[in-house]
Structure 1
């Protein structure tokens, strides 16, 4: 399994979030404010500072945390490709807001004025581990020194490194993110049915890099061998009945399914059967994985 096509192809919202997080982390680090980040009991209930509150949502407080955090955010762009930018934006807002509320409740319960939580989008990152665990299939298994691993193991290891990077300071935000991701998956408050007007997301689409895609009339277009192919119509060398032509799946659709963890041959076969409908093909592949 891999993260799909390189770059932020078909993931403009993730691209914006990753660049915003990285930019703020570097900027606040250069200003010497990184050590002051991270919500504390005093920040919430005594001396509220808006800049620190907002910065703590996006900015990591150390370089190692930034490296692992941005890597995971970049990898999880696969979910935006899977559900679309509109629903992924809802997922981001729900995860960030709900995990933040849970962190505030945790601070109110602990009432420790000397400790502060780790800074950064921990809620979003660990909320994304829920669909990663349930919806991304394992595509390969291997052994290292007698220990069984899968292609998903390294993502889990990166998550564990980030979760325990600052012990209690990072553990609480991580657990809050996992809980937020669980509630999203359970469709709490009907959140998975909510959509933004597409016009509100147009700004993110303008931030995506232009990508080249083959024209339907290109030499290797969407028709197999530049001719119509009809399954099951050739019997004894003669056509038995007219059939709907089998269209070759677009490379973009194949890449999207591969980015979800499916192997290329299965993705192509599913798209052929689904007549290049990526949602139908995804359901077919997920059903075959669960058997």
Structure 2
């Protein structure tokens, strides 16, 4: 219901999977088996300033020391995997590395500012990968389109991004000084995204390191491509279940037609996919009371040119949203026409193909 891309699991998101497994496993191991070493991983700013323990800027920002922070951060990283599919693993890793470095300077700067203006002494901050997690809200807000899902009490609009913001709010209220880390992460995300002082170029993961990680880690951490429809949630209503099932059937029909076009070895058409050769969507079939696909199959095999596409109107606002994600105008228009102006389905097709 709240997914942004439609594909489930960790498909094409090996870095997100590693961020879920490795720090979480180290957190559980440290808290349950070796609790006497927790003090080494505390994010103690006072020790950094007075005792010059610079290493705490690294150790204190690697492992979570609170199970609530671990759970909320894990859910957010799982939802932010769409950004890795959108940008690629190397660019996604560069964003995490850049914001992780900038957050260290931001934490110290904010702590000194609070002490100078309000005489508020910030001695210790929550530990873990919290700064980059909050920084990921910036590209998530700017790059992922907002698609309404349902209405709550007839007035409050629930979108595909509502659950992510609720989890961020829960993480923000988990400890007293979490708002300092959140502000530091958000500022770091804005600075990196705006490419201030050429951060995106200076803090870019080297190509050789990206290739080594792809060769060594991707076969172990890459998720399999989803092939079957996941079971519906227990709390989903009948309308939402029907909506999800129809979306999945639409997608399977379009993919089967794409495979048939490739098998026939026909010359490629303009744009990303030749959406006009596909069957109409299931919603349009239901409204027009068209015959079943089995009856329409012989007609699709008749020789001669394909029938002209329907002049489905496409709103410029939806086209602009898809273009902001990096797709061309032609591909965005074709995807919207093929999906009957369903921007969620159009985003699925463009991201997966």
Output the TM-score relative to the length of structure 2. 0.59
SS at match of 1:270: helix
| Structure 2 CA distance for aligned equivalents of residues 158 and 118 of structure 1 | 17
| Structure 2 CA distance for aligned equivalents of residues 179 and 122 of structure 1 | 13
| The structure with more radius of gyration | 2
Bigger relative CO (Cα 8 Å, ≥ 6 apart)? 1
Query: Which residue is 1:27 aligned to?
Result: 29
Offset, 1:161: 1.0
Q: Does the CA-based 8 Å contact 2:26-2:63 persist in structure 1?
A: yes
> Unaligned stretches of 5+ in structure 1?
241-256, 261-265, 274-280, 287-291
Show CA shifts across 1:215-240 (max 9, x none).
xxxx8763338434877899xx7449
- Name the CA shift for 1:85/1:272 in 2 (closer, same or farther; >3 Å): farther
| Structure 1 CA distance for aligned equivalents of residues 16 and 61 of structure 2 | 15
Q: Does the CA-based 8 Å contact 2:10-2:224 persist in structure 1?
A: no
- Name the CA shift for 1:114/1:239 in 2 (closer, same or farther; >3 Å): closer
Corresponding residue to 2:198 among 174, 190, 199 = 190
| Structure 1 CA distance for aligned equivalents of residues 29 and 58 of structure 2 | 14
Query: Which residue is 1:10 aligned to?
Result: 12
Query: Which residue is 1:135 aligned to?
Result: 143
SS at match of 1:57: coil
Query: Which residue is 1:62 aligned to?
Result: 66
May I ask how many residue pairs the two structures share in their alignment?
249
Output the TM-score relative to the length of structure 1. 0.71
Map 1:118-267; keep pairs closer than 5 Å. 118-146=126-154, 147-167=156-176, 169-193=177-201, 194=204, 196-197=206-207, 198-202=210-214, 203-209=216-222, 211=224, 222-224=259-261, 226-227=263-264, 228=266, 238-239=304-305
- Name the CA shift for 1:187/1:225 in 2 (closer, same or farther; >3 Å): closer
In the alignment, does 2:50 pair up with 1:46?
yes
| Structure 1 CA distance for aligned equivalents of residues 106 and 53 of structure 2 | 19
Show CA shifts across 1:238-266 (max 9, x none).
449xxxxxxxxxxxxxxxx9xx9xxxxx9
- Name the CA shift for 1:69/1:210 in 2 (closer, same or farther; >3 Å): closer
Show CA shifts across 1:29-48 (max 9, x none).
12225577542332212235
SS at match of 1:148: strand
Offset, 1:285: 7.5
| Structure 1 CA distance for aligned equivalents of residues 333 and 223 of structure 2 | 25
Q: Does the CA-based 8 Å contact 1:24-1:55 persist in structure 2?
A: no
- Name the CA shift for 1:107/1:136 in 2 (closer, same or farther; >3 Å): same
In the alignment, does 2:108 pair up with 1:104?
yes
Corresponding residue to 1:71 among 66, 69, 75 = 75
Q: Does the CA-based 8 Å contact 1:99-1:123 persist in structure 2?
A: yes
| Structure 1 CA distance for aligned equivalents of residues 205 and 59 of structure 2 | 26
Q: Does the CA-based 8 Å contact 2:11-2:225 persist in structure 1?
A: no
Further displaced range: 179-188 or 32-41: 32-41
Q: Does the CA-based 8 Å contact 2:130-2:185 persist in structure 1?
A: yes
- Name the CA shift for 1:89/1:64 in 2 (closer, same or farther; >3 Å): same
